[in-house]
Amino acid sequence: EAGVVQSPRYKIIEKKQPVAFWCNPISGHNTLYWYRQNLGQGPELLIRYENEEAVDDSQLPKDRFSAERLKGVDSTLKIQPAELGDSAVYLCASSLRGGHGYTFGSGTRLTVV
């Protein structure tokens, strides 16, 4: 079975520019997560979806970050405008509802210059 697919793998943008990341979860996985991993640290949750509903976005910086999961399948995470401190790896993961342990994608490494 195909794993969690993320694109692009790498992105370099100038500060104040917009950027978007895309995630395709494992087929049938109701729950989708976006995590941010700063250099030398563990991942931190940004937002969690149950189907198309964002059920936990308390740690998403809403002034510049937005996310959507249309039709409860693919998801897009957007940053506008990007800041230098947004440089990180953005990881998408999915699981069955109530599942224990996710499947992670390979991530998108964002560099803001």
Q: Which residues bind other proteins (CB under 8 A)?
A: 4, 6, 9, 31, 33, 40-45, 48, 50, 55-56, 91, 93, 95, 97-107, 109
Q: Looking at beta carbons only, is 35 or 65 nearer to other proteins? A: 35
Shortest Cβ distance from residue 46 to other proteins (Å)? Answer: 11
Q: Looking at beta carbons only, is 30 or 66 nearer to other proteins? A: 30
Nearest one of 13, 22, 5 to 78, comparing CA atoms? 22
CA atoms within 13 A on the CB side of 64: 13
Coil/strand/helix, residue 65: strand
Residue pointed to by tokens 């499947």: 103
The number of residues making up the chain comes to: 113
Q: Looking at beta carbons only, is 50 or 74 nearer to other proteins? A: 50
Shortest Cβ distance from residue 96 to other proteins (Å)? Answer: 10
Shortest Cβ distance from residue 27 to other proteins (Å)? Answer: 18
Question: Tell me, what DSSP letter sits at residue 15?
Answer: T
